[in-house]
Amino acid sequence: KAGVTQTPRYLIKTRGQQVTLSCSPISGHRSVSWYQQTPGQGLQFLFEYFSETQRNKGNFPGRFSGRQFSNSRSEMNVSTLELGDSALYLCASSEGHASSYNEQFFGPGTRLTVL
Amino acid sequence: DQQVKQNSPSLSVQEGRISILNCDYTNSMFDYFLWYKKYPAEGPTFLISISSIKDKNEDGRFTVFLNKSAKHLSLHIVPSQPGDSAVYFCAAAGSQGNLIFGKGTKLSVKP
C-alpha cells in the first residue's frame, strides 16, 4: 500500500496570506489527524477528521481549519498567516478513529515558511 | 502546560552501548504511551508502545519501561547502532485518541 502523502512538501507564503495543505491517507483509512511541529513546542495536535466530520480539535485559533472529503482525503487551511505559523505540518491516518488501538501512520509533512 | 515532557533535548551515545531516553507525564488518566522515531524530512514512525496496565514492553533491541507512580517512562535501546540516530518522541494517547507529544530527544549514536 502507498503511504500517507502530503502536498506540497514545501511552501513559502507572506504574512496575511492564506494557505491550503493537502493530505491523502493510506487507502482504506478513514481517519486523518493534523499536527503542527515547531522547534519550541514539538508536535501539537490540530484536529482529527473521520468520515468527513471533525471528531476532535486541539487548542489552536479559528484561523486553522480543515475538512475531509468522501474519499478520506483531507485539507487544512490557515488564513491570515502569521510568522509564528512557520512550521512542519504533519498529517497522520488510521483505519478507525485515532485511538490507542488504531496505529497512526504519518506523512512526510509540509514545511511552511511565512515571511 | 506540557503534559508530556522530554527534558533532554539531545543525547549522545557510543555504538554498542545502551541509549536511555526519558519521558515524564503529568496526567494520571493517560492509559497508553508510545514512542515514535523521526528522521529528517520524514514523518514520525511508530516504534513501540505500552499500556498503563503493564510496566515493561520489549521488541527486539527496544524496551519501554513504565513507572506509573512516578509518571515516568523510558525507552532503552540495546545495543545502540548508528542507524538509530534520529529524534525520538514520547507520546501519550489522550481521552479522545489524539496523541500528546513531548518535544523530542535527538539521539546521536557515534561509531
3-state secondary structure labels for all residues of chain A: CCCCEEECCEEEECCCCCEEEEEECCCCCCEEEEEEEECCCEEEEEEEEECCEEEEECCCCCCEEEEECCCCCEEEEECCCCHHHCEEEEEEEECCCCECCECCEECCCEEEEEC
pLDDT at site A100: 64
Task: With a cut of 90, say whether residue A2 has pLDDT above it.
Answer: no
Q: What part of B 56-85 touches A (C-beta under 8 Å)? A: none
pLDDT at site A7: 97
pLDDT at site A68: 97
Radius of gyration of chain A (CA): 13
Summarised one tens digit per residue, pLDDT across range A85-99 is 999 999 999 988 777
Give the CA distances from residue A60 to residues A63, A64, A101, B10, B87, in Å, rounded to whole numbers and listed in that order: 8, 7, 26, 28, 25
Distance from CA of B17 to the nearest CA of A (A): 27
Considering only CB atoms, B101 lies closest to which of A43, A97, A107, namely: A43
Q: What percent of chain A has pLDDT over 70?
A: 97
Q: What is the mean pLDDT of residues B29-48?
A: 91
Kindly compute the dihedral angle of the four CA atoms of residues B12, B43, B33, B61, in this order, to the nearest 10 degrees. -50
pLDDT at site B40: 87
pLDDT at site B4: 94
Task: With a cut of 80, say whether residue A103 has pLDDT above it.
Answer: yes
**Closest Cα in chain B to A56:** B96
Cis peptide before A8 (omega within 30 of 0): yes
Q: Do A75 and A65 meet the contact criterion of CB atoms below 8 Å apart?
A: no
- Pick B99 or B97 by higher pLDDT: B99
Considering only CB atoms, B44 lies closest to which of A56, A58, A106, namely: A106
B45 inside 8 A of chain A by CB? yes
B10 inside 8 A of chain A by CB? no
Mean pLDDT of chain B: 93
Summarised one tens digit per residue, pLDDT across range A16-62 is 999 999 999 999 999 999 999 987 788 999 999 999 999 889 999 99
Task: With a cut of 70, say whether residue B69 has pLDDT above it.
Answer: yes
pLDDT at site A40: 78
Determine which of A89, A90, A102, A104 to mutate to test the interface with B (most B C-beta atoms within 10 Å).
Answer: A104
Contact: A108, B42; criterion CB under 8 Å? yes
Task: With a cut of 90, say whether residue B31 has pLDDT above it.
Answer: no
Q: Is the dihedral of CA B43, B48, B101, A100 positive or negative?
A: positive
Task: With a cut of 90, say whether residue B99 has pLDDT above it.
Answer: no
Task: With a cut of 80, say whether residue B96 has pLDDT above it.
Answer: no
pLDDT interval class at A63 (50, 70, 90): very high
Cell digits for A103? 496505529
Q: How far apart are CA B72 and CA B81, in angstroms?
A: 25
Residues in chain B with CB shorter than 8 Å from the CB of A97 are 97
